[in-house]
Amino acid sequence: MTVGKNIKLFRINAGLKQKDLAATIGVEDSYLSSVENAKKEPSLSLLKKIATALNIPISMFFWENMETLEDKTPEARLKKLLFELAKTTTPHEKPKQRRN
């Protein structure tokens, strides 16, 4: 699963080191490293803490396609993902009412 890789991607984009994020969420940096490297599976409560700390929806950790984007740098993948997300979450305008 790509959860750990996605956590790392968003952590790097936020400009945080592992030890900083680990301290914020209350875990050892070695544990966070294990999560990011898919050696350990994080609990749902931990994912919620990480998402809150990174100010992103928890669902972003489960996007499978982040690994298969053409550009392999974390920043480029994140920019493309956020662009795609913005397209899907933009509120639709209400239709203008006709005046009779």
Q: 23: domain range? A: 3-89
How many domains in the chain?
1
- 24 inside domain: yes
Distance CA 49, CA 84 (A): 24
How much is the pTM?
0.65
Read off the CATH number of the domain in which 36 is found. 1.10.260.40
- 96 inside domain: no
- Cα–Cα distances (Å) from 100 to 9, 93, 95, 96, in that order, read 54, 21, 15, 13
At 98, which amino acid appears? R
Task: Single out the residue of 54, 68, 5, 14 nearest to residue 33, CA to CA.
Answer: 5
- 99 inside domain: no
- 100 inside domain: no
- 97 inside domain: no
Number of other residues whose CB lies within 10 A of the CB of residue 100? 3
- 94 inside domain: no
Tens of each residue's pLDDT in the chain, 100 residues: 589 988 998 898 888 999 999 999 999 999 999 999 999 999 999 999 999 999 888 888 887 655 555 556 666 667 677 766 655 544 444 445 555 5
